[in-house]
Chain A
Amino acid sequence: SAVISQKPSRDICQRGTSLTIQCQVDSQVTMMFWYRQQPGQSLTLIATANQGSEATYESGFVIDKFPISRPNLTFSTLTVSNMSPEDSSIYLCSVWRAGELFFGEGSRLTVL
């Protein structure tokens, strides 16, 4: 299995602020994926992060709101910008390993 570490594990944020979530993987991977899980909901793919290129965003998600960095093959960040209460969610990063998609522990954000 893959070891995926996310920081912070949880945070409470004020409306209008931004927060950056970090994701560290135990070995090099080509793609890293960022998902959002709103309260009581399923997972929705935000974007795919490739090292050395801009992230690819899914419909409904834009770079200005969710800028992503991928400086190397083991690390990525997702920023949630200008937060509103609707951004209160769990944000998960994930990677493939041996044909399975593994997830980090998630970053639970609450926006007041």
Chain B
Amino acid sequence: ELKVEQNPLFLSMQEGKNYTIYCNYSTTSDRLYWYRQDPGKSLESLFVLLSNGAVKQEGRLMASLDTKARLSTLHITAAVHDLSATYFCAVDLPSGYALNFGKGTSLLVTP
């Protein structure tokens, strides 16, 4: 059974601090996806990581992928309140057609 595990599931952090969200998965997929969901909204694609060692950055967020360890990280640098949201990682389902999502990390950035 394909498993996608995120930790932590809940994260409260102060503005200006750094933190990392981890995503472990059980498949041999070479691709990993990160999404953001604001309350009451749909999912917004953040990053698509396509190969081992891939690193992508957008603003205060940086994502990386280690396919050998089956691990992806989402690093937050100098957090600001606007980053408060739920972050999901996802990998390809064995069928290869859709994605399987982790449980999500609910991030709250406080002053």
Contact = CB atoms under 8 A, between A and B. Distances in A.
Interface of A: 1, 31, 33, 41-45, 48, 92, 94, 99-106, 108
Interface residues of B, number: 20
Contact of A41 (B42, B50, B98, B103): B103
Contact of B99 (A41, A101, A106): A101
Majority SS at the chain B contact face:
loop
A19 B14 CA distance: 43
A42 B43 contact: no
Interface of B: 33, 40-43, 45, 48, 50, 88, 90, 93, 95, 97-104
A92 B41 CA distance: 11
A79 B40 CA distance: 22
A2 to B, nearest CB: 10
